[in-house]
Structure 1
């Protein structure tokens, strides 16, 4: 048996040179489909062999390929170790020949139990001794569903031990940091019930397991006797990590309040990742890995753009998230390009993503710490407000007791008055209910209350406000440029506009005690019992925004809608006060109309313009 004609044995550096010796540059590859055994490989025509080059890394899956190289020592006996530093290769069959005589055959790979390896290491090692003048020839038959990265090198025992110790230390620090953050987040999630911490704990712990699998550590220490599980772990963990990352991003960037479109993307992306997870037992591993790698690139890029947009808008956590995610994204991009053969660098394909992941750990830990601190401050603020409220309640209660002791007769009289007013209110409500059944209080065009119902409710709610000393808010709503709608589109379009506005008002009024009525023409009036001016303005802004979003399609033309709203709110002090409050809301409405329309104005009394002499 002999090497291809164009090869020559490579001189092994002497014992004084213990550095790593790269064999990839001296190796030859044969990918012919008809080469099945050692005899066929050694007798294959020279044209079937070529030097191992960058183009040979473009494969994610190879059913069978052959590598060969030859070594010799010219001066002394040496002990060396051949290392193939890709823990994810499925099956390797090594043939060792001395002076063209077969002396050993070894089978390795993560499709076999871990104990089957010649040396118990995360990577594939083969030790041998070489006498001066002997020629050692090696043939490697390799099959794998993963990336065909083939970092083939020759080590002395001392240098390999030092390299292994350094690599183990780095991997230990990285996995220890990941596991610590994951468990810390998990404990916080269990204690607080926070979805954010739950998703981040799932992300970090699944990423830890993926890193351990890529480094061969998980196969060595967790499931050394289950090679079938080792074959499935990478395609299982990649979509799981992706799903947790998407769900964590949704929470930490508060997409529910910031971007509904990205919220939907994150949720659909998580479902897509889980579907990939379900397809693992039924799909070809090489095809699934290719899909998963491309999906990770696409999803990571979109999440990066989203985080940057949120950071530009001033989202505090998004800034740190963007920095951390950028590091991971660049690492994932580098690893993916190496894995897909788009970039040719003499490093493991997982090395860039490991560096990026370590970078991300620091910044994501900062994100969690800041969020935890914000939540703690918010909780303390709520507790302080609760204590202040309790103190106010205590003071109010003491004042009430003192008032009761000093004016019992007056309080009894007030109770009688309140009882009488309640009876009057009950009778009025009964009358209202009877009239509702007759549909006499409903505006026939819009379906909301009419002016008559509004006037009666205004008097009744005024009495309640006066009795309970609770504020009552009135909103006067006017459709902007309604006459132009009638003139340009016709009165039927105007009627449709009134109905649409009335429906929008009803949708934004939540409490059963609130009242929406058509005041006249294109004006509507709203009564909000037990509502302050600030509450009235909040409701008015909701109405204005909702109406602004309405577009009526009338015979192919869009009718844009806006409203102006006047707001007035006070505690009713007399029987004539509700009418005055209505006039104030009307003045505020005209102020909104005169200052540009499509706005909310609160009534404010005119200022004294007299100047001191």
Structure 2
């Protein structure tokens, strides 16, 4: 019976009460109500006392609320868990961030808690425009700025000013709000290390799962099967609690996105209760212990069934049941250990690793311990140690029963030892196969990632990748003050070409043109993509309009001199080019830049095609 908590994961069900108690101590931490940002920070962890919040009055309009934000009764938070911890009302949070640098700082706000149904970030820009971005479980994942394990919200910090950021949160779970402010590249490095760490954790747990599954196959001991079910449920719950499952496994599955956390939590408690009763042989112990085990199994079985039917228990009821189940189970385990039960002793030590590591992480989240690699990931080590120790306890139990029969069954013992050696070899073989399969899966994932941004016919980047690159280059142009050129190109009379020579010839024409475009760009900086149909786009960072026009003219001449053989005839094609170049400001959008290049392209067509026209220039 376990859950995971980390920056970016969840509060463990069995320690909700601990968090409430520890949160009262968080007020001792020193923090400023205004969050200072110099500009060179990789990330900033927002302390509880640096945020203000209030529950949203019924029927509140967000725009009206923000216009009168200073008139509302904001209250300072004492911990990452707000008060009340569960509310049907939305909650508003205000962050006041001082940009002490002289530059506009694009930043990411990360909320490291996965059970938020809807999050909206609002920021009023100096010109009065209201900026808004949404995220959350109920938000269409395809519309997000960036999909990640946790919730990310982009915003800008205007220079030499105190920026007020408002976040509106709706959730059916705990109002747990660990906020982090990230610089983009730093978050990318953190995310890579984060996936690497949890990849190792899940890999180790899957190996333990396979090992115990093979033990069950060969021994037919039901405890191994129950432990495998418990391990599987724990892995699924961790995938849900860390957001890795939502981001990497069931992305796009709305039902699982909304229900995976309570579903897999109930599954973990249900399988843990069954394993607990069977493994510790509670039926042979005190009657009340066995009765509690059965009662816990029935309760969590019912909650699991209700979650499968797309319903859910109230959060307070689930949290209370989780706390009672965990504490009573711990009391039973310690009681048996005190009586000298060696298996119960191992079981208690396993629990001690999990609970102590979880408490350390809770204290770190509340700001009473420094955040570092050890405190941030201590619970992952605790979970792994618990898994290993319970496996050892399983082995202890089997060995004890085996020793009771060993003196009368020496011949059978010899055969069993041989079987165990073969089993270990098979487990090793399966582990190696799993590692090979993992490698193939990783290579397949890399290939799928490449294909997701590539146009299949031409081999160029597709429209989706083009949009991402153009957005980033506009921001870079704004930050650096460097020009950015965009070229839109269209094959002249392509429809007539297709009608006359057929679609196969048209496809070959597209491939040849794409190859010619790719050959004539700067591979280290430019991005050429198939924009749609017979239309192509080239992003040229650092070039002004005159330079971009010269480059486009060179490409135009190169394409015109390229021949195409169709049905024994040598054909040629021409292209029209529209060029625009800008130095981005805060009003610049992808749509604006594209529209300028598109307008220039249509001027090139109207002027007779096979030419290059700049947005602000005459026919070249």
Whole-Å separation in 2 of the counterparts to 1:134 and 1:78: 11
Structure 2: runs of 5+ lacking an equivalent? 1-31, 415-620
- With over 3 angstroms needed to count, the CA separation of the structure-2 counterparts of 1:335 and 1:153, relative to structure 1, is closer
Whole-Å separation in 1 of the counterparts to 2:96 and 2:413: 82
Whole-Å separation in 2 of the counterparts to 1:386 and 1:151: 57
Partner of residue 68, structure 1: 94
SS at match of 1:140: strand
Q: Could you report, residue by residue, the CA deviation over 1:21-73 in whole angstroms, capped at 9, with x for unpaired residues? A: 52754433231314232222332452422334437254134431222334444
Partner of residue 160, structure 1: 187
- With over 3 angstroms needed to count, the CA separation of the structure-2 counterparts of 1:74 and 1:313, relative to structure 1, is closer
Partner of residue 98, structure 1: 125
The correspondence for 2:62, drawn from 37, 48, 55, is 37
SS at match of 2:257: helix
- With over 3 angstroms needed to count, the CA separation of the structure-2 counterparts of 1:188 and 1:282, relative to structure 1, is closer
- With over 3 angstroms needed to count, the CA separation of the structure-2 counterparts of 1:337 and 1:36, relative to structure 1, is farther
**Per-residue deviation, 1:210:** 0.7
Which range moves more in the overlay, 296-305 or 12-21? 12-21
Paired residues of 2:43 and 2:186 also in contact (CA < 8 A): yes
Paired residues of 1:9 and 1:135 also in contact (CA < 8 A): no
The equivalences for 1:499-578 within 5 A come to none
SS at match of 1:29: strand
Paired residues of 1:235 and 1:288 also in contact (CA < 8 A): no
Q: Does 1:88 align with 2:115?
A: yes
Paired residues of 1:81 and 1:156 also in contact (CA < 8 A): yes
Whole-Å separation in 2 of the counterparts to 1:333 and 1:12: 29
**Per-residue deviation, 1:134:** 6.1
Q: Could you report, residue by residue, the CA deviation over 1:232-251 in whole angstroms, capped at 9, with x for unpaired residues? A: 22222222212211221222
Paired residues of 2:52 and 2:93 also in contact (CA < 8 A): yes
Whole-Å separation in 2 of the counterparts to 1:274 and 1:120: 33
Partner of residue 71, structure 2: 46
Whole-Å separation in 2 of the counterparts to 1:53 and 1:331: 23
Partner of residue 268, structure 1: 295
Query: Normalization by structure 1: what TM-score?
Result: 0.54
Partner of residue 297, structure 1: 323
**Per-residue deviation, 1:90:** 1.0
Q: Could you report, residue by residue, the CA deviation over 1:437-479 in whole angstroms, capped at 9, with x for unpaired residues? A: xxxxxxxxxxxxxxxxxxxxxxxxxxxxxxxxxxxxxxxxxxx
SS at match of 2:147: coil
SS at match of 2:145: coil
Whole-Å separation in 2 of the counterparts to 1:337 and 1:60: 21
Paired residues of 2:354 and 2:386 also in contact (CA < 8 A): yes
The equivalences for 1:153-552 within 5 A come to 153-280=180-307, 285=312, 288-330=314-356, 354=380, 356-374=382-400, 383-384=409-410
Partner of residue 44, structure 2: 20
- With over 3 angstroms needed to count, the CA separation of the structure-2 counterparts of 1:9 and 1:324, relative to structure 1, is closer
Paired residues of 1:23 and 1:154 also in contact (CA < 8 A): no
Structure 1: runs of 5+ lacking an equivalent? 1-7, 389-613
- With over 3 angstroms needed to count, the CA separation of the structure-2 counterparts of 1:131 and 1:322, relative to structure 1, is closer
**Per-residue deviation, 1:142:** 0.9
Partner of residue 146, structure 1: 173
**Per-residue deviation, 1:124:** 1.6
**Per-residue deviation, 1:132:** 3.1
Whole-Å separation in 1 of the counterparts to 2:36 and 2:364: 29
The structure with the larger Rg is 1
Query: Normalization by structure 2: what TM-score?
Result: 0.54
- With over 3 angstroms needed to count, the CA separation of the structure-2 counterparts of 1:62 and 1:174, relative to structure 1, is farther
- With over 3 angstroms needed to count, the CA separation of the structure-2 counterparts of 1:359 and 1:385, relative to structure 1, is closer
Paired residues of 1:84 and 1:152 also in contact (CA < 8 A): yes
Paired residues of 1:63 and 1:145 also in contact (CA < 8 A): no
- With over 3 angstroms needed to count, the CA separation of the structure-2 counterparts of 1:23 and 1:252, relative to structure 1, is closer
SS at match of 2:240: helix
SS at match of 2:82: helix
**Per-residue deviation, 1:100:** 5.5
Whole-Å separation in 2 of the counterparts to 1:25 and 1:387: 64
Q: Could you report, residue by residue, the CA deviation over 1:408-429 in whole angstroms, capped at 9, with x for unpaired residues? A: xxxxxxxxxxxxxxxxxxxxxx
Q: Could you report, residue by residue, the CA deviation over 1:145-195 in whole angstroms, capped at 9, with x for unpaired residues? A: 111111223222233233323332332222222222223222322333221
- With over 3 angstroms needed to count, the CA separation of the structure-2 counterparts of 1:146 and 1:354, relative to structure 1, is farther
Higher relative contact order (CA 8 A, sep 6+): 2
Paired residues of 1:114 and 1:225 also in contact (CA < 8 A): yes
**Per-residue deviation, 1:92:** 0.6
Partner of residue 107, structure 1: 134
- With over 3 angstroms needed to count, the CA separation of the structure-2 counterparts of 1:257 and 1:24, relative to structure 1, is closer
Whole-Å separation in 1 of the counterparts to 2:78 and 2:405: 61
- With over 3 angstroms needed to count, the CA separation of the structure-2 counterparts of 1:282 and 1:347, relative to structure 1, is farther
